[in-house]
């Protein structure tokens, strides 16, 4: 099915099942421990061995020798894989560095060997006996020192310009120029990267924790040099991904190599330190933002520059993306520069680009509002736009940013905020409120599904879409139930298997809308097939209560399939609507903090998110996504930072003891409001993404609240008490 015209009325608009706050259909499995994750396939693979990765202890250089003598003699050892005996390996499309290093070493903790043994403990013990000799070469590990050598990325839109930014900024009545830094961040998902590999002849089955099944199967096949049809990836449940599992990592490749070498299925999981240094992370940024405005607060010039780093062949953190679209201003400039760093690979992490960019932009907007003497909410509203500022002929399909800000201000009690910083006390606490706009582009991707109607009147949906804790099982079941007039308990959803039709996969906030649109397309085809089989006119058939009706005639769906299952397959493809209309999601975050007047300890007291993100397919699962994102934003604001050893080239705090993330005690009451919205330009579902929007802007809202509480402006994240103590207001 091709979506190339705005959506009109369709069965989803009934909203009998779609749009309802239903419990997760996979909830009982997860709460009883019967949802089997990648590393728990004991029934499918009952006699597997275990692999343990040996990782590089240098960040850059060469392996000059590996002594496996003691490891091979260790109890239980079945095989040891290194680059010397793994055979010729290709390089997948989606990883920057090789997943198995040697002789070249590209980053710290790059895998250099896998020890396979009967038990996990035996594999780990033997891995400690592997002796690796290295020749280390100098590397670059400090972004601030590498900016001078940073270059323009190959992306043709790395730099953009409209009007005369330099002239307009120089002539502006009020000017602001600020520099901000964001640190490297790690995906700290609950489930580690984990895989079990099993070979049957020349065919590989790989159970792995991966968000994008088709991408992963293709990369595994390319790396191993086997036909893609010989690789089957299965990921029925995923315990969090956040972008860190968009691409297969060393656990998957080495499980496959280990299983081939040991002639046994092999399970490999990455210990937590290897998740930080062996897999991907959100790269650090240095950002400069300049804003020029008239005295009444109208932006006349806005410029945003960003520097980030990655391994050779990597890509930048696109921190300027939202600045191109979020606020009006006739004279504009954005620029990105990419430095070569010999740190572990930088790549996508929840809301890549916007998450980091809004951490800076939304502080800059508050700082400019302060110079103008304007309320921060009103300054943002003053500079709203209903068209793409770089291409004014291109309107937004939906844009309710102003409504998000006004609704949030009312619900949060913004009118009670005293404008002057450090003016509000609650006992020992200095109290402040902060606001930030939220923005994330709406992306769509081709997505397919297979639907089967059986003689019991049940419908099974199969698609390689994954559920990373987001509720994919539930919204897909809701879509099929709505389309076919069935209760949700008559829908069976099967996900995460490369033998199923290729979906959009989970990531980039495109998964929910795109995957359900693919299911919609398959269900339209099934409806038409059923109508034609019954001799009904597909255009006037009604599917409800387990029956199909046309005029006075009604048949049960079970009777239609009495002679055998009816199976159809289709996909949703997209035309040029996204080029003709700018499709984005918007929101507003409001935060209240308390800062201890004596210790500068920061405590979040209240959080509110107001989101405009198209039709909300399930308000309960959507709210869960947003409050999780808000929590992640709190971590980015107040505690999360990978500390780089700039001499030895690795992330020092590479576990959850040293890399702090929020816990329940850090998070207060969170309120989420979804504005009523449908977007006919997005898909037949009239939905958009929401899971990453909930993160965008949160950190800046917290930083702005801390400034309002204390009068101290912190521009280098995270906002920690050591950055406040020296300048705290007098206790008197």
Mean pLDDT in residue range 721-729: 97
pLDDT digits (tens, 9 = 90+) for 432-484: 999 999 999 999 999 999 999 999 999 999 999 999 999 999 999 999 999 99
Mean pLDDT in residue range 210-232: 98
Q: What share of the chain is helix, strand, coil (3-state, %, to 5)?
A: 30, 30, 45
Contact 290, 177 (CB under 8 A): yes
* Helix H or strand E encompassing 529: helix 511-534
468, two tokens: 């990373």
Residue 233 has pLDDT above 90, yes or no: yes
Residue 646 has pLDDT above 80, yes or no: yes
pLDDT of residue 155: 78
Residue 488 has pLDDT above 90, yes or no: yes
Contact 97, 107 (CB under 8 A): yes
Catalytic one of 354, 362, 677, 692:
692
Nearest to 176 by CA among 435, 378, 372: 372
pLDDT digits (tens, 9 = 90+) for 82-110: 999 999 999 999 999 999 999 999 999 99
58, two tokens: 């240098």
Mean pLDDT in residue range 64-79: 98
R_g (Cα) of the chain, nearest Å:
27
pLDDT of residue 157: 82
CATH number of 367-442+583-727: 3.30.365.10
pLDDT band per the 50, 70, 90 thresholds, residue 731: confident
Residue 526 has pLDDT above 80, yes or no: yes
Nearest to 98 by CA among 209, 234, 262, 222: 222
pLDDT digits (tens, 9 = 90+) for 380-427: 999 999 999 999 999 999 999 999 999 999 999 999 999 999 999 999
pLDDT digits (tens, 9 = 90+) for 125-156: 999 999 999 999 999 999 999 999 999 998 76
Strand order in the sheet with 425-426: 425-426, 429-441, 584-596, 602-612, 669-674
pLDDT digits (tens, 9 = 90+) for 542-575: 999 999 999 999 999 999 999 999 999 999 999 9
297: left (phi over 0), alpha (psi -120 to 50) or beta: left
**Same topology for domains 2-32+444-577 and 367-442+583-727, yes or no?**
yes
The proportion of the chain whose per-residue pLDDT surpasses 70, expressed as a percent, equals 100
pLDDT band per the 50, 70, 90 thresholds, residue 715: very high
SS3 301: strand
692 carries an active-site annotation: yes
What fold, for 2-32+444-577? Aldehyde Oxidoreductase; domain 4 (3.30.365)
pLDDT band per the 50, 70, 90 thresholds, residue 527: very high
Domain boundaries, the chain: 2-32+444-577, 367-442+583-727
SS3 509: coil
pLDDT of residue 531: 97
Mean pLDDT in residue range 630-654: 98
Average pLDDT, the chain: 97
pLDDT of residue 413: 98
Contact 442, 399 (CB under 8 A): no
């Amino acid at each position: 099915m091709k979506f190339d015209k705005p959506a009109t009325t369709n069965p989803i608009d009934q909203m009998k099942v779609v749009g309802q706050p239903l419990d997760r259909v996979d909830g009982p499995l997860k709460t009883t421990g019967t949802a089997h994750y990648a590393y728990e396939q004991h029934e499918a693979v009952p006699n597997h061995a275990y692999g343990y990765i040996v990782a590089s202890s240098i960040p850059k250089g060469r392996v000059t020798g590996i002594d496996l003598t003691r490891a091979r003699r260790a109890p239980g050892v079945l095989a040891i894989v290194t680059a010397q005996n793994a055979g010729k390996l290709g390089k997948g499309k989606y990883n920057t560095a090789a997943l198995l290093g040697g002789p070249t070493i590209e980053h710290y903790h790059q895998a250099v060997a896998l020890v396979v043994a009967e038990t996990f403990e035996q594999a780990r013990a033997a891995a400690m006996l592997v002796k690796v000799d290295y020749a280390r070469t100098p590397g670059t590990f400090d972004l601030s020192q590498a900016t001078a050598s940073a270059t323009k990325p190959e992306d043709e839109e790395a730099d953009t310009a409209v009007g005369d930014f330099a002239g307009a900024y120089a002539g502006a009545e009020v000017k602001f120029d600020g520099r901000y830094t964001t640190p490297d961040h790690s995906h700290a998902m609950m489930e580690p990267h984990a895989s079990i590999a099993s070979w049957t002849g020349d065919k590989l089955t790989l159970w792995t924790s991966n968000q994008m099944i088709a991408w992963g199967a293709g990369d595994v096949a390319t790396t191993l040099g086997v036909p893609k049809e010989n690789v089957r990836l299965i990921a029925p449940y995923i315990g969090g991904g956040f972008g860190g599992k968009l691409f297969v990592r060393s656990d998957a490749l080495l499980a496959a190599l280990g299983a081939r070498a040991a002639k046994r299925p092999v399970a490999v999981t990455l210990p937590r330190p290897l998740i930080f240094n062996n897999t991907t992370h959100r790269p650090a940024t240095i950002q400069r933002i300049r804003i020029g405005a008239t005295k009444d607060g109208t932006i006349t010039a806005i410029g945003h520059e960003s520097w980030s780093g990655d391994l050779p062949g990597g890509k930048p953190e696109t921190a300027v993306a939202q600045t191109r679209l979020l606020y009006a201003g006739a004279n504009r400039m954005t620029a990105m520069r990419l430095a070569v760093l010999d740190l572990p690979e930088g790549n996508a992490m929840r809301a890549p680009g916007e998450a980091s960019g809004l951490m800076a932009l939304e502080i800059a907007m508050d700082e400019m509002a302060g110079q103008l003497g304007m309320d921060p909410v009103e300054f943002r509203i003053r500079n709203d736009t209903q068209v793409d500022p770089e291409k004014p002929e291109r309107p937004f399909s939906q844009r309710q940013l102003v409504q998000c800000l006004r609704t949030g201000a009312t619900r949060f009690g913004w009118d009670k905020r005293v404008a002057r910083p450090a003016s509000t006390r609650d006992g020992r606490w200095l109290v402040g409120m902060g606001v930030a706009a939220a923005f994330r582009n709406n992306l769509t991707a081709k997505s397919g599904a297979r639907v089967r109607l059986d003689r019991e009147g049940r419908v099974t949906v199969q698609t390689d879409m994954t559920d990373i804790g987001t509720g994919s099982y539930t919204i897909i079941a809701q879509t099929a139930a709505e389309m076919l007039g069935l209760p949700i308990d008559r829908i069976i959803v099967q996900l995460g298997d490369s033998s199923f039709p290729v979906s959009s996969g989970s990531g980039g906030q495109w998964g929910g809308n795109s995957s359900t649109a693919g299911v919609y397309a398959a269900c339209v085809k099934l409806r038409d097939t059923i109508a034609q089989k019954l001799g009904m006119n597909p255009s006037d058939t009604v599917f409800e209560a387990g029956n199909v009706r046309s005029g006075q005639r009604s048949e049960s769906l079970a009777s239609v399939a009495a002679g055998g299952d009816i199976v159809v397959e289709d996909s949703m493809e997209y035309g040029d609507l996204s080029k003709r209309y700018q499709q984005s999601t918007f929101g507003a975050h409001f935060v209240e903090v308390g800062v201890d007047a004596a210790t500068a300890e920061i405590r979040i007291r209240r959080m509110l998110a107001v989101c405009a993100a198209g039709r909300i397919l399930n308000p309960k699962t959507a709210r869960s996504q947003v409050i999780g994102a808000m929590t992640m934003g709190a971590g980015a604001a107040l505690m999360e930072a990978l500390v780089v050893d700039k001499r030895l080239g690795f992330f020092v705090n590479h576990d959850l003891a040293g890399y702090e993330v929020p816990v329940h005690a850090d998070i207060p009451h969170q309120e989420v409001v979804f504005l009523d919205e449908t977007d006919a330009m997005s898909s037949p579902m009239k939905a958009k993404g929401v899971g990453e929007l909930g993160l965008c802007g949160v950190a800046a809202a917290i930083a702005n609240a801390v400034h309002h509480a204390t009068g101290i402006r912190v521009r280098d994240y995270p906002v920690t008490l050591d950055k406040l103590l020296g300048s705290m207001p007098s206790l008197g």
